[in-house]
């Protein structure tokens, strides 16, 4: 197949890990007979420095003509003032809205190597295999905002249509996995959560009766995620709650450097990125963990291109590299490998095979 991919390296360690993602895509194309054309564009702080805009028009155009977008990270201390009128994160939020990617998928399945770095007791991590589906383009992040010297507001607004479309995405995943969906809200307090709960309940009853559904309040979920994580399969939640809970879930994996994500809409075009930030403290040192980016490439191959064999091969190669002790500094302080060495190890562990038939 032929596909066009836009790369958005961004800030901090973003360019370092996206470089390994590019090499991985090139290796997949060569070994499986695909043709991936790739272009890079600016987003975040580097885009502000270059043009004053965290998401320039040229970047928007590059993303809209792509079949998939691979992102590194945005932000850094030089742009960290929350009161600044222009901030790197604005570019990311605008990009999500522009691409219409309303469902953020974050799988968490701890690898034994990463699990050793987790502060969670080992027996609690046994059989953990869950995936978050976070609504990504609504809620308080996108609602009307107001600020005066004496008050501030962030409107949290959701429509039934917004809730239904992300619920269907979560339900399809649950039906293909273990048949359980956990919906997280704050329905004892918030009207938007009450709308979420009634909509999810109705839609699941009407369209997915075979999927078991439970509703949990977000404060309870924050506790259960760390005390009984193996009980969960697909977890569905609104934007703000999902942002917080998915970062909490990174503790289960032992390192943010091991967790990928996919942001999807109604079509095939998606935005794929590691869940970690720009890590300015280690930027430019060549020690960042590229595995989350490479696993994000696997999600790109699966969800945007339908290349399940290739996606499985990437995930197996990352797992094998971890098994073989190819560990970056976040996973092993002594005798750790560089970003480039870790990336090369994954590529070396891809299966040597004949090209697919055209």
- Residues taking part in catalysis: 141, 186, 219, 243, 247
CB neighbourhood size of 123 (10 A): 7
Classify 68 as helix, strand or coil. Answer: strand
Alpha carbons 250 and 118: distance in angstroms, whole number: 9
Q: What is the DSSP letter of 114?
A: H
Alpha carbons 188 and 173: distance in angstroms, whole number: 27
Q: Which of these, 229, 238, 240, lies nearest to 200 by C-alpha position?
A: 238
For residue 297, give Cα distances in angstroms to 28, 201, 246, 323. Answer: 10, 34, 19, 20
Give the phi and the psi of residue 191 in degrees, each rounded to 5: -65, -40
CB neighbourhood size of 247 (10 A): 15
Signed CA dihedral, 78, 82, 83, 89: sign only: positive
């Amino acid at each position: 197949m032929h596909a066009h991919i836009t790369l958005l390296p961004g800030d901090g360690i973003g360019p370092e890990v996206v470089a390994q993602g590019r090499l991985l895509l090139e290796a997949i194309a060569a070994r499986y007979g695909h043709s991936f054309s790739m272009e890079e564009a600016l987003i975040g702080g580097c885009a502000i420095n270059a043009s004053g805009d965290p998401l320039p028009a040229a970047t928007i155009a590059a993303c809209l003509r792509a079949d998939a977008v691979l992102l590194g990270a945005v932000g850094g201390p030089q742009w960290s003032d929350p009161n600044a009128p222009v901030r790197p994160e604005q570019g990311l939020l605008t990009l999500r809205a522009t691409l219409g990617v309303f469902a953020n998928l974050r799988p968490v399945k701890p690898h034994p190597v990463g699990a050793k770095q987790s502060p969670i007791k080992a027996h609690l991590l046994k059989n953990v295999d869950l995936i978050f589906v976070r609504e990504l383009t609504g809620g308080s992040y996108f609602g009307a905002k107001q600020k005066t010297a004496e008050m501030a507001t962030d409107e949290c607004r959701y429509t039934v249509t917004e809730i239904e479309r992300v619920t269907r995405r979560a339900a399809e995943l649950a039906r293909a996995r273990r048949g359980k969906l956990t919906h997280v809200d704050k329905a004892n307090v918030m009207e938007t959560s009450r709308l979420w709960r009634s909509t999810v309940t109705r839609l699941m009853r009407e369209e997915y009766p075979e999927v078991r559904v439970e509703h949990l309040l977000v404060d309870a979920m924050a506790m259960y995620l760390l005390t009984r994580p193996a009980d969960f399969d697909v977890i569905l939640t609104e934007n703000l709650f999902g942002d917080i809970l998915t970062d909490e879930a990174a503790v289960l994996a032992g390192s943010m450097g091991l967790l990928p994500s996919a942001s999807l809409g109604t079509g095939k075009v998606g935005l794929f990125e590691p869940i970690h930030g720009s890590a300015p403290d280690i930027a430019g040192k060549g020690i960042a963990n590229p595995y989350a980016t490479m696993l994000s490439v696997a999600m790109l191959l699966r969800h945007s291109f339908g290349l399940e064999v290739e996606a499985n091969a990437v995930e197996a190669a990352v797992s094998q590299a971890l098994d073989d002790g190819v560990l970056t500094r976040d996973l092993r302080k002594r005798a750790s490998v560089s970003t480039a060495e870790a990336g090369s190890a994954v590529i070396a562990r891809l299966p040597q095979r004949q090209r697919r038939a055209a």
